[in-house]
Chain A
Amino acid sequence: MIAESYRREIQYCTFCPKMCRFVCPTAIAEARETVTPTGKQTLLYLVQQEAVPLDTEAVQTFQQCTGCGLCTEYCDHDIDVYPVMREARAEGARRGVVTPEARNVLDNYLQYGNPYGNLTPAYLNRVGARILRQAQVFYVPDVSAIARRPEALDAVLLVLEKLHQENVALWPGPMLGSGYLLHTLGFDDEFRAHAKAFADVARGARTLVFASPHDAETVRKHYPAAGAQLEAEVLTEAEWLLRILAHQDVPGQSARRVLYHDPCSLGRGLGVYDAPRRIIEAVNGSPALEFSWSGAESKCCGWGGGYAFTVPESAKIVARNRIDEAVEQTPDEIVTGSTSCAVQLLSAAGHSMPVFDLMTWLAVRL
């Protein structure tokens, strides 16, 4: 039986009255029963029972999960639907059932070591000066930043300089990022290979600072099982920045209306809620504004779980919904702890609302 270890989760969700549907980003975006947690799990249940084949359409349905984990907050049984969906995707991959969108991501990983394509020339071009093959502290940029918001890399350099972090080197590659998308889309073998190669490069480093909380979470939670051992301390950018800023004078007087968006992987994933808020308060001189859904109940931007790659139109609706929610708080700008989130939110906000990742925001406000 496929996804055997998740039997309880699958059955409980199948027979649940969809109590978490109202917070599930994909269910909201498409208004479609099939992509509610209950709908997805029902399909998986029927696949388990061999009443429905595990075909492309089924895998497409299982890809409709951003891994945001908000469903768990509204589950009396503490079920997290995401690992179940991920396992179903992996089962699909093992059986060669791969959607075109996922295939594209996989191909890019295999050829270029990242989900987007040939990013290395641009990356080297932008930050080559700060790249070292070996270092005590590596700053690992968010692949989304390299691909979609390269100016964020300039911001990184600027902030490192302003904060006098001469000892911090930028990640050398060739594989960029932790392989999160391989993992989330269920390409387990390829993920293992990526993880091991990543760990090899990181060998000898004392600290790894991840710009992407997805990367930090992947490395912390899934590298050990993939046989990739890291000795270095793994920090999210926000945790690291807070540590640095604690010893520095910061201006703290712009008092703009800054609204903070919790990345799902940083908040619910890694439990980091406080650090980015303290940074914002220190730099801005006043506490960050909160979404009506914030902290442990923060809503997703639509990027995670490979959703922005497999179902980009719906992922944009998820982002749009979050921007609509933001507008209620009348902020001057949104700051978030992940460039992926920033990229995704910007895809919906356009010019209507500035959205910054922490580094870019610091580069402007420090």
Chain B
Amino acid sequence: MSLDTLRTRIPDLVVSVGEADRINYARDLYPLTHIRMQDARIGTRPRAVVWPQSAAQIAALTAWAAETGTPLIPYGAGSGVCGGTLASEDAVIVDLKRMNRIVDLDEISLLVRVQPGVIGEDLERWLSRRGYTLGHFPSSIYCSSVGGWVATRSGGQFSTKYGKIEDMVVAQEVVLPDGEIVRTRTTPRAATGPDWDQLFVGSEGTLGFITEVTLRVHPAPEVRCFRGFRFADVPSALAGMRSLLQAGLRPAVTRLYDEIDTLVAGNRKPAADDVVPGWKQKFSRSLREHNVFLQLAQRTAFRHPKMVHALVDMLPGSCLLTVMFEGAAGLTEAEADEGWRILSELGGRDLGPAPGEAWYATRYHVSYRQSALFAAGAFVDTCEVATTWGAIDDLYLGMLRAVQSQALIMAHFSHAYHEGVNIYFTFAATAGTPAEQERLYETIWERLMESCLRYGGTISHHHGIGFSKQRWLARELGGGMEVFRAAKRAIDPRGLLNPGKMGLALSEGERR
């Protein structure tokens, strides 16, 4: 059926079938699409892109989609790195960014109600002007939307204090695939059945359109205390991090860089010189003066990652733990002092506030780095996993070893919890032909995911599943997939919402 019926049905709906739009909505930030773009290969173009401006329009859109059997793909800012918004030829992309109002701020209850299309940084600045913070700072904050955060279970850099997005969501309005508009109740907590908010948080557009979210906000912090600590190696630094959290302290930030990442991260600011002694310091400085990745690429380090890793292993290791507390004056300093005491007792060498302040000043810079690498013909991606403290050392080493011969890989540990911590791997590599490049990329992921599952890690800490990780999801969920699929059948029996993602493809028999 033609799109004309859509135009008749919803006359005010902004619709585009333009080639330039279809090309631009044919990819998101899934690095495999970047690799293909290096070769000027355009992915599958959606049939059309539409920009609804209200939940009612979306409801009408779902009715049209049901009649015509058209897949709909909810779209925020397209910053997903797992291909969660990739389209099929018959799909219509539903871009929610025209629904970008900040509806209400309840300063008594510390709640903000927003539409899904607000870009993160815009919301944060809006709150900041009024003396509040959301406390959610993903490194994509400039290029991701609130709806996207909720749909993908986003986690921000300050999550240890403020929580992840699922801890911030108090209520939602969702348009279900059958056009019904449902709302969860705005309440601090309830024992009124399962937490329905948590059904939609992380559903990645497969269960409904999130059209409004009520989030917790916090008074803007009065003070911020930074401190860097140097530890001899990753395990001892992890022990430090663990003790902080298990002592009941809630730093906003704890970031531990492994040896390579410390070198690379150390290229940010002179302050981090203290982290790396002797000739390593010089190496670090030379890295700083140029773009480290590009330099490494040019020196063909990517072609010989094994050598680089061996070299780093030989160095007298040291890694940097950056910690930051923020919040109310008095309480925050007390908490920080307690934290510094714990870390010093566990062998951390106090580097003063500089490393943390340097990180803070450049905290979103990492997102800019990938361009240079892709432009140079290499590729880079990140893999974020998590596990309990008891299993973290093995998971870290297991995953590193799984791909060390294929890629230059480094890690930091950036979201700490009472019971465990995440690992954020960054890996970069290059291969000869475009086909080899793709193959290498897939191989690395295969090895990372398999080793992650083998060592008991969760396959995604905060990037989500989308398209790229779906084949491992059933093993991840340990039978929970049956519950997820039941929810899918219950809510989207025709399977029209973001199909082909998250391992939810419904069989003929399941479809209604």
Rank and list the top 7 A-B pairs by shortest CB-CB distance, nearest first.
A31-B97, A15-B374, A49-B40, A76-B368, A11-B375, A51-B40, A12-B371
Q: Which residue of B40, B98, B142, B373 contacts A31 across the interface (Cβ within 8 Å)?
A: B98
Q: Does B18 count as interface, using CB distance less than 8 angstroms?
A: yes
Q: How far, in whole Å, are A51 and B129 apart by their CA atoms in the complex?
A: 45
Interface bits A53-64 vs B (CB < 8 Å: 1, else 0) = 000011011000
Q: Does A16 count as interface, using CB distance less than 8 angstroms?
A: yes
Contact status A22-B100, CB under 8 Å: no
Contact status A77-B371, CB under 8 Å: yes
Contacts of A13 in B (CB 8 A): 371
Contact status B142-A74, CB under 8 Å: yes
Contacts A17-B143, A22-B119, A49-B40 given; does A43 touch B20 at CB 8 Å: yes
Among A32-40, A150-158, A213-221, A271-279, the stretch that binds chain B is A32-40
Contact status B143-A46, CB under 8 Å: no
- CB-CB contacts below 8 Å: B371-410 with A: 371-375
- CB-CB contacts below 8 Å: B12-42 with A: 16, 18-21, 23-25, 29, 34, 37, 40-42
User: Taking each of A17, A19, A43, A45, which has the highest tally of chain B beta carbons within 10 Å of its own beta carbon?
Assistant: A17
Contact status B119-A21, CB under 8 Å: yes
The distance from the CB of B385 to the nearest CB of chain A, in whole angstroms, is: 21
Q: How far, in whole Å, are A16 and B27 apart by their CA atoms in the complex?
A: 13
Q: Does B253 count as interface, using CB distance less than 8 angstroms?
A: no
Contact status A75-B20, CB under 8 Å: no
Q: How far, in whole Å, are A317 and B40 apart by their CA atoms in the complex?
A: 33
Q: Does B79 count as interface, using CB distance less than 8 angstroms?
A: yes
Contact status B24-A292, CB under 8 Å: no
Contact status A45-B37, CB under 8 Å: yes
Interface residues of A (CB under 8 A from B): 8, 11-22, 31-34, 39, 42-43, 45-46, 49-52, 57-58, 60-61, 74-77, 292, 328
Contacts of A8 in B (CB 8 A): 375
Q: How far, in whole Å, are A43 and B42 apart by their CA atoms in the complex?
A: 10
Q: Does B77 count as interface, using CB distance less than 8 angstroms?
A: yes
Q: How far, in whole Å, are A111 and B34 apart by their CA atoms in the complex?
A: 46
Contacts A15-B371, A39-B24, A75-B368 given; does A33 touch B78 at CB 8 Å: yes
Contact status B18-A57, CB under 8 Å: yes
Q: Does B419 count as interface, using CB distance less than 8 angstroms?
A: no
The distance from the CB of A2 to the nearest CB of chain B, in whole angstroms, is: 14
Contacts A17-B370, A19-B368 given; does A46 touch B23 at CB 8 Å: yes
Q: Does B212 count as interface, using CB distance less than 8 angstroms?
A: no
Other 8 A-B pairs with CB < 8 A, given A17-B370, A21-B143, A46-B23: A17-B79, A19-B143, A19-B367, A31-B117, A32-B21, A34-B20, A76-B368, A328-B129
Contact status B368-A77, CB under 8 Å: yes
Contacts A20-B142, A33-B25, A57-B19 given; does A12 touch B79 at CB 8 Å: no
Contact status B21-A17, CB under 8 Å: no
The distance from the CB of B58 to the nearest CB of chain A, in whole angstroms, is: 15
Q: How far, in whole Å, are A52 and B34 apart by their CA atoms in the complex?
A: 17
Nearest residue, chain B, Cβ from A8: B375
The distance from the CB of A216 to the nearest CB of chain B, in whole angstroms, is: 31
Contacts of A292 in B (CB 8 A): 125, 129
- CB-CB contacts below 8 Å: B36-87 with A: 37, 40-42, 49, 51, 77-79
Contact status A19-B24, CB under 8 Å: no
Interface residues of B (CB under 8 A from A): 16, 18-21, 23-25, 29, 34, 37, 40-42, 49, 51, 77-79, 95, 97-98, 100, 117, 119-122, 125, 129, 140, 142-143, 364-365, 367-375
Contacts of B117 in A (CB 8 A): 31
The distance from the CB of B105 to the nearest CB of chain A, in whole angstroms, is: 13
Contacts of A74 in B (CB 8 A): 142
The distance from the CB of A105 to the nearest CB of chain B, in whole angstroms, is: 21
Contact status A43-B371, CB under 8 Å: no
Contact status A33-B37, CB under 8 Å: no
Contact status A15-B368, CB under 8 Å: no
Contact status A32-B372, CB under 8 Å: no
Q: How far, in whole Å, are A12 and B371 apart by their CA atoms in the complex?
A: 5
Nearest residue, chain A, Cβ from B100: A31
Q: Which residue of B49, B95, B97, B142 contacts A19 across the interface (Cβ within 8 Å)?
A: B142
Nearest residue, chain A, Cβ from B79: A17
19 interchain pairs (CB within 8 A)? A15-B34, A15-B37, A15-B370, A17-B143, A18-B77, A21-B143, A22-B122, A22-B142, A31-B100, A32-B21, A45-B37, A51-B42, A52-B19, A57-B19, A58-B20, A61-B20, A76-B365, A76-B369, A292-B129
Contact status A31-B140, CB under 8 Å: no
Contact status B372-A33, CB under 8 Å: no
Contacts of B40 in A (CB 8 A): 45-46, 49-51
Q: How far, in whole Å, are A16 and B129 apart by their CA atoms in the complex?
A: 28
Q: How far, in whole Å, are A33 and B371 apart by their CA atoms in the complex?
A: 18
Contact status B119-A14, CB under 8 Å: no
Nearest residue, chain A, Cβ from B37: A14
Q: How far, in whole Å, are A279 and B77 apart by their CA atoms in the complex?
A: 41
Contacts of B125 in A (CB 8 A): 292
Q: How far, in whole Å, are A33 and B21 apart by their CA atoms in the complex?
A: 7
Contacts A22-B122, A39-B24, A49-B40 given; does A17 touch B375 at CB 8 Å: no
Contact status B367-A34, CB under 8 Å: no
Contact status A31-B95, CB under 8 Å: yes
Contact status B24-A33, CB under 8 Å: yes
Contacts of B120 in A (CB 8 A): 22
Contacts A76-B368, A77-B368 given; does A21 touch B51 at CB 8 Å: no
The distance from the CB of B157 to the nearest CB of chain A, in whole angstroms, is: 15
Contact status B79-A43, CB under 8 Å: no
Q: How far, in whole Å, are A43 and B21 apart by their CA atoms in the complex?
A: 10
Contacts of A52 in B (CB 8 A): 19, 23, 42
Q: Which residue of B20, B97, B121, B367 contacts A57 across the interface (Cβ within 8 Å)?
A: B20
Q: How far, in whole Å, are A128 and B76 apart by their CA atoms in the complex?
A: 55
Nearest residue, chain A, Cβ from B374: A15
Q: How far, in whole Å, are A45 and B370 apart by their CA atoms in the complex?
A: 17
The distance from the CB of A300 to the nearest CB of chain B, in whole angstroms, is: 15
Contacts of A20 in B (CB 8 A): 142
Contacts of A58 in B (CB 8 A): 20
Q: How far, in whole Å, are A172 and B314 apart by their CA atoms in the complex?
A: 76
Contact status B20-A31, CB under 8 Å: no
Q: How far, in whole Å, are A46 and B38 apart by their CA atoms in the complex?
A: 10
Contacts of A32 in B (CB 8 A): 16, 21, 49, 51, 95, 97
The distance from the CB of B416 to the nearest CB of chain A, in whole angstroms, is: 25
Contact status A34-B24, CB under 8 Å: yes
Contacts of A16 in B (CB 8 A): 367-368, 370-371
Q: How far, in whole Å, are A12 and B25 apart by their CA atoms in the complex?
A: 19
Contacts of A33 in B (CB 8 A): 21, 24-25, 78, 95
User: Taking each of B29, B79, B100, B371, which has the highest tally of chain A beta carbons within 10 Å of its own beta carbon?
Assistant: B371
Q: How far, in whole Å, are A50 and B367 apart by their CA atoms in the complex?
A: 28
The distance from the CB of B96 to the nearest CB of chain A, in whole angstroms, is: 8
Contacts of B79 in A (CB 8 A): 17-18
Q: How far, in whole Å, are A46 and B367 apart by their CA atoms in the complex?
A: 23
Nearest residue, chain B, Cβ from A13: B371
The distance from the CB of B413 to the nearest CB of chain A, in whole angstroms, is: 22
Contacts of B143 in A (CB 8 A): 17-19, 21-22
Q: Which residue of B23, B51, B129 contacts A43 across the interface (Cβ within 8 Å)?
A: B23
The distance from the CB of A282 to the nearest CB of chain B, in whole angstroms, is: 28
Nearest residue, chain A, Cβ from B364: A19
Contacts A21-B143, A31-B95, A33-B25 given; does A15 touch B375 at CB 8 Å: yes
User: Taking each of B40, B79, B365, which has the highest tally of chain A beta carbons within 10 Å of its own beta carbon?
Assistant: B40
Nearest residue, chain B, Cβ from A12: B371
Q: Which residue of A17, A31, A42, A328 contacts B51 across the interface (Cβ within 8 Å)?
A: A31
Contacts of B98 in A (CB 8 A): 31
Contacts of A39 in B (CB 8 A): 24
The distance from the CB of A79 to the nearest CB of chain B, in whole angstroms, is: 9
Q: Which residue of B42, B95, B375 contacts A12 across the interface (Cβ within 8 Å)?
A: B375
